[in-house]
Amino acid sequence: MVDIRIPIGLMFTIVGIIISVFGFVTISNTEMYHKSLGINVNIIMGILMLIFGLIMLFFAFRKKKKA
């Protein structure tokens, strides 16, 4: 069957890129990040999701190579 880590990895990689890019584009928009206590949560969460997605993909493909 399909390795579930591939779709999870792909989705988080894509969403992570979108959110972090959006975070960098809006970096100077202090009004928007006033809610989140002045923290640019988009950059932080975006990068976190990207890393998570890549880790999932890494493990999925490492297993595939072995098999």
For another protein, the binding residues (CB under 8 A) are 1-2, 4, 7-8, 10-12, 14-15, 18-19, 22-23, 26, 32-33, 35-37, 39, 41-42, 44-46, 48-49, 52
Q: How far is the CB of 16 from another protein (least distance, A)?
A: 9
Nearer to another protein, 1 or 65 (CB): 1
b/e sequence 26-53, b meaning 16+ C-beta within 10 Å = eeeeeeebeeeeeebebbeebeebbeeb
Please tell me the distance from the alpha carbon of residue 36 to that of residue 1, in angstroms, as a whole number: 41
Q: How far is the CB of 10 from another protein (least distance, A)?
A: 7
